[in-house]
Amino acid sequence: MALDMQRAETVRYALIQNVIDIIQDNAAKWNVPHDFNVGKRLSVSGNTLHIGRKSFEAYEIGKFSVNTEGSMALYDRYGKKLCGTLSLNVSLKNIDIFCKWIKINNVFAEVITGKAERIFQYIFMIVGIAVIVLIKVLRNFG
């Protein structure tokens, strides 16, 4: 079980590194399909990004950020978040093609540190362990 968790984490960080490599590379050599889906809520048709029922042209997207822990977000030119981690993350199908589309369309892409997210993950893990221990202790007294 621990070996499977370690493999899953290794694969996850390899996917994150692949995405970071794509957004930091020169986009001139890439070809992307005209139409493709990115998960369930996002799709691309030419230079248009569809998020649910809303559509945005590539020039309307101001920034694409990738967290070193795998979270992603898209913002418009005024800084309003268009979509975040729940609908855009490293585990989606065609995320690599989407990152290439971002670069080809000259959307500003940045990599940000995942320190805060990592701290949140540790806090969540500690709270989870504490709840499990508390449940076991209460069962012994009940």
Q: Are 71 and 12 in contact (CB under 8 A)?
A: no
Predicted model pTM: 0.75
* Least confident piece of the model among 43-47, 83-87, 100-104, 126-130: 83-87
Q: Both tokens of residue 3? A: 């070996």
**How large a percentage of the chain has pLDDT more than 70?**
92
**Which of the listed ranges 21-25, 42-46, 113-117 does the model predict with the highest average pLDDT?**
42-46
In the chain, how long is the greatest CA-to-CA distance? 67
> Residue 114's pLDDT is what?
65
Quote the DSSP letter at residue 71: B
pLDDT band at 1 (very low <50, low <70, confident <90, very high): low
Per-residue pLDDT, averaged over 50-66, amounts to 93
